[in-house]
Amino acid sequence: MSGLSASPASSPVTGGGNVPRHVAIIMDGNGRWAKRRFLPRIAGHRAGAEAVRTVVRAARDMGVQALTLYAFSSENWRRSTEEVSDLMGLLKLYLRREIRELNSENVRLRTIGDLSGLGKDLVALAQEGVEATKNNTGLNFVLALNYGAQDEMLRAVRDIASQVAAGTLSPADIDHASIETRLDTRDLPPLDLLIRTSGERRLSNFLLWQAAYAELLFVDTLWPDFDRKALADALSDYGTRERRFGGR
């Protein structure tokens, strides 16, 4: 259930615990939530979008610096054409509805992943949101769109290889920082806590490099039911953990 994270610093909170600077969530269980209610899958995704609204604001209020949500993975293209279309439509609806409110709440919207693989309308909306909120100083709200950690690392390695081939980088100078500064998350705080909902216990190609020393938390709650209290409970659990970073 638990792992360790990439950096020992974190923010103090009331009660002697610590608030993780960077929280990432694999939002799982929308389909099962809908199935249990005899609803179509899109109803589960719509309920999941409402959970996103709740959790973003809760994370901001609780002092989290960065919240990364796995909104659409590079593997999600394998789903039915109808479901992919529904998800894309829901993402566009969410962005249209939320950009102004995020901006008014001092939340900075960011994206990670290969946006070139998405539709032009969705990319334009995402870029509009990023541009509109770029000067905000509160929570960094990061949407992982068409994201896959293996693809992210492959892109980093290809960039390094091209510099080596061009003679501008020596193989002897390649180190951890050479990878990290080329990752999509390069200007975000190190990942402290990774949560997966719905009872599944795998990372599903999400932030694999960043999770090397992250605390891992797997909860049975389906994503549409993951609310402010669920996030508070997750942060409380994080605050009880002793992080050794391989030192002992």
Q: Which of 18, 28, 140, 184 is catalytic?
A: 28
Q: What is the pLDDT of residue 76?
A: 87
Asked if 24 and 191 touch (Cβ cutoff 8 Å), the reply is: yes
Q: Is 16 known as a binding-site position?
A: no
Beta strands (DSSP E) in 31-75 are 66-73
The three-class DSSP label of residue 143 is strand
Within 10 Å of residue 49's Cβ, how many Cβ atoms? 21
Average pLDDT over residues 141-158: 97
Average pLDDT over residues 223-230: 98
CA–CA separation, 228 vs 84, rounded Å?
A: 28
Class of domain 18-148+190-239: alpha beta
Q: Angle at the Cα of 116 (from 142 to 174), degrees rounded to 5?
A: 70
Q: Which of 76, 103, 136, 205 is catalytic?
A: 76
What lies within 8 Å, CB to CB, of 91 at 6+ separation is 71, 72, 122, 145
Q: What is the pLDDT of residue 243?
A: 79
Alpha helix stretches (DSSP H) within 79-140: 81-104, 120-132
Q: What is the pLDDT of residues 126-138, one digit of tens each?
A: 999 999 999 999 9
Asked if 219 and 196 touch (Cβ cutoff 8 Å), the reply is: yes
Query: Does the annotation mark 76 as catalytic?
Result: yes
CA–CA separation, 118 vs 230, rounded Å?
A: 31
Whole-number average pLDDT of the chain: 91
Query: Does the annotation mark 106 as catalytic?
Result: no
Average pLDDT over residues 116-128: 93
Can you give the three-state secondary structure of 196-220, one letter per residue?
A: ECCCCCCCCCCCCCHHHHCEEEECC
Token couple for 117: 């693989």
Query: Crossing angle, helix 81-104 and helix 120-132, to 10 degrees?
Result: 20
Q: Is 223 known as a binding-site position?
A: no
Average pLDDT over residues 81-97: 91
- The DSSP letter of residue 192 is -
pLDDT above 60: residue 9: no
Q: What is the pLDDT of residue 4?
A: 29
Residue with tokens 């990290």: 180
CA–CA separation, 21 vs 192, rounded Å?
A: 6
Q: Is 244 known as a binding-site position?
A: no
Q: Is 104 known as a binding-site position?
A: no
Residue spans of the domains in the chain: they are 18-148+190-239
Q: Is 97 known as a binding-site position?
A: no
What lies within 8 Å, CB to CB, of 147 at 6+ separation is 70, 72, 73, 74, 112, 113, 114, 184, 206
Q: Is 79 known as a binding-site position?
A: yes
Confidence at 246, pLDDT banded by 50, 70, 90 = low
pLDDT above 80: residue 244: no
Q: What is the pLDDT of residues 11-68, one digit of tens each?
A: 434 333 589 999 999 999 999 999 999 999 999 999 999 999 999 999 999 999 999 9
Q: Is 33 known as a binding-site position?
A: yes
Q: What is the pLDDT of residues 165-197, one digit of tens each?
A: 999 999 999 999 999 999 999 999 999 999 999
Asked if 5 and 191 touch (Cβ cutoff 8 Å), the reply is: yes
